[in-house]
């Protein structure tokens, strides 16, 4: 048996070696140097997040970011760097949002205006009421009752205790799952009809709220744990009515109001939003 192993080893040693692929170590070293010493990743992230900040479409911050990106790419050596506009609609920006509960006790609250929401033109105080405004029948039932009120439009959020750790190392199975991507089925006629109904009713609702003299509306954040997830209104379109100030509030605070109202307490909120539409060039 020992002699057999010896012959096998001698045979393997005599096999011709496979040709080695040429490696340009100078190029490899250059790439590693760029990654470890000259990387622009953190500087780019710093400019976009810390310095420039949020860049809502057609807001004043957007052209600032565009100018910086154009200048930076040209400095890096890219050719034909240019801006290409597309028709969008109104710009929008807000400078301040303060929301407080003033009755039955005082509390400072975490809330933000939805994009393309009008401002309050000063501090406004109003009684908070919980209403459902989802159909034309709902609007008819509430007609003449909502002037000077702040409307809570959603039921309380369901807040579940966390079941997963804040950090977990991904296994091979987890990574394999992440690699799988399911394509959403194409939107059908039923979806389009529903979208048209929502768009038409959204226009009617915005007009109704303004005509009734509603101070503001408040929706609950779709995230909990203090996070406020804010979307926008359709008022980025120049032909859509602005409506009234629309706020999104942290789920925990929103649920507190819902409980107070269910218990028969009178709740009053103070709202002040400095926001404005940016008219002019509709291109982004």
The band of 18, judged by pLDDT with boundaries at 50, 70 and 90, is low
Top-level class of domain 92-159+191-278: alpha beta
Q: How far apart are CA 218 and CA 206, in angstroms?
A: 14
**Strands 216-220 and 149-152: what pairing?**
parallel
What's the pLDDT tens digit per position in 178-194?
888 888 888 888 878 87
**Strands 107-109 and 216-220: what pairing?**
unpaired
Residue whose tokens read 């154009």 = 70
SS3 80: coil
Q: Residues 92, 116: contact at Cβ < 8 Å?
A: yes
Domain boundaries defined on the chain: 40-88, 92-159+191-278
Beta-strand runs (E) in 46-105: 91-103
What's the pLDDT tens digit per position in 198-213?
788 889 999 999 999 9
Angstrom distances, CA of residue 65 to CA of 44, 50, 59, 72, 153: 11, 12, 10, 10, 35
Q: How far apart are CA 89 and CA 162, in angstroms?
A: 41
pLDDT exceeds 80 at position 86: yes
What's the pLDDT tens digit per position in 136-166?
999 999 999 999 999 999 998 888 888 888 8
Strand partners, 246: 217
**So what's the pLDDT on residue 22?**
87
pTM of the prediction?
Answer: 0.78
Q: Which of 107-116, 132-141, 220-229 bottoms out in mean pLDDT, i.e. has the lowest?
A: 220-229
**So what's the pLDDT on residue 5?**
44
Structure tokens that stand for 239 in this block: 């032909």
Structure tokens that stand for 190 in this block: 């039923």
Q: How far apart are CA 73 and CA 44, in angstroms?
A: 11
């Amino acid at each position: 048996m020992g002699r057999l192993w010896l012959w096998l080893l001698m045979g393997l040693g005599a096999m011709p070696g496979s040709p080695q692929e040429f490696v340009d170590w100078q190029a490899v070293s250059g790439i590693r140097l760029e990654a470890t010493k000259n990387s622009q990743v953190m500087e780019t992230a710093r400019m976009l997040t810390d310095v420039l900040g949020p860049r809502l479409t057609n807001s004043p911050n957007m052209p600032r970011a565009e100018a910086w990106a154009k200048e930076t790419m040209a400095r890096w050596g890219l050719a034909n760097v240019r801006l290409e506009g597309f028709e969008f609609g109104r710009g929008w920006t807000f400078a301040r949002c303060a929301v407080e509960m003033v009755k039955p006790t005082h509390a400072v609250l975490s809330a933000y205006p939805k994009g393309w929401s009008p401002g309050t033109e000063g501090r406004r105080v109003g009684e908070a009421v919980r209403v459902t405004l989802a159909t034309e029948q709902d609007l008819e039932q509430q007609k003449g009752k909502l002037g000077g009120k702040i409307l809570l439009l959603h039921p309380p959020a369901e807040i579940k205790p966390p079941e997963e750790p804040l950090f977990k190392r991904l296994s091979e199975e987890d990574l394999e799952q992440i690699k799988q991507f399911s394509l959403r089925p194409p939107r059908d006629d039923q979806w389009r009809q529903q979208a048209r109904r929502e768009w038409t009713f959204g226009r009617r609702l915005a007009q109704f709220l303004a005509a009734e003299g509603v101070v503001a509306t408040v929706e609950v954040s779709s995230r909990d744990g203090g996070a406020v997830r804010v979307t926008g209104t359709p008022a980025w379109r120049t032909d859509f009515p602005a409506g009234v100030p629309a706020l999104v509030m942290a789920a925990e605070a929103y649920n507190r109001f819902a409980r107070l109202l269910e218990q028969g307490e009178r709740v009053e909120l103070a709202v002040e939003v400095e926001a404005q539409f940016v008219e002019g060039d509709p291109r982004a």
